[in-house]
Amino acid sequence: AKECPEVNEPSRSMIGLPQEQWLDGVFANSRAQWNVIAQQTIFSRFGQIRDGQKSQWTDGWDGYPANRERVLASIESHQVRNPLILGGDIHAAVIADVHRDADRLESPVLAAEFCGTSIASQGWSEEMFNPRLPQNPHVKFGNTTKRGYLAFEATAKGCDARLRVLDDEKTRASGVHTLASFRVED
């Protein structure tokens, strides 16, 4: 934000004000056991520390912190039950706890995030991606080397997510296996 102070302007919105208002209304009226928020990219903060300061990765919701804050405030104020935020488009898998304040891990976890990888497109280099993981401790899992998809099964007791990956995305008849599994309790 130091290089681009406009990022922090409250008027900036990833989804636009009409959709923000619609989402707030959906949250206010939801009686669902599982509230799935499907959107286009990574919702959680995923910056890195450069020159002693945390940068913002502006190709995701980091570029719209005021909008993200409004969405989190809406989830919290409406006490949305079991919010699951789904995303993609970063060519890597990221599984994270979405804390009320990403800088304070003791702040409440408001949602679980599952950002899926690409099915064929190559991901970030490990040299670029992996250093971000310990710098973002709310991220529980990250992988940039495998291509694949996430599979979910929601029941009354919990939601199970499996990261299914191709053995070799360059081979037409590639095998598929589960690289990691996650559970979100009701």
Do the beta carbons of residue 127 and residue 83 sit within 8 Å? no
Q: How many CB atoms lie within 10 A of CB 176?
A: 11
Per-residue model confidence (pLDDT) at position 161: 98
Per-residue model confidence (pLDDT) at position 97: 98
Instruction: Give the span between the Cα atoms of 136 and 130, in whole angstroms.
Output: 11
Average pLDDT score over residue span 141-153? 97
Per-residue model confidence (pLDDT) at position 3: 66
Nearest C-alpha neighbor of 143 from the set 158, 157, 132: 132
Do the beta carbons of residue 144 and residue 152 sit within 8 Å? no
Lowest mean pLDDT across 20-24, 95-99, 118-122: 118-122
Lowest mean pLDDT across 50-54, 89-93, 115-119, 158-162: 50-54
Binning pLDDT at 50, 70 and 90, where does residue 49 land? confident
What's the token pair of residue 118?
A: 């690409």
The DSSP 8-state label assigned to residue 172 in this structure reads T
Q: How many CB atoms lie within 10 A of CB 94?
A: 27
Per-residue model confidence (pLDDT) at position 34: 98
Instruction: Give the span between the Cα atoms of 6 and 3, in whole angstroms.
Output: 9
pLDDT 10s digits, 3-45: 688 888 999 999 999 999 999 999 999 999 999 999 999 999 9
Chain-centroid distance, C-alpha 127: 21
Binning pLDDT at 50, 70 and 90, where does residue 65 land? very high
* Sheet-wide strand order for 158-166: 148-154, 158-166, 176-185
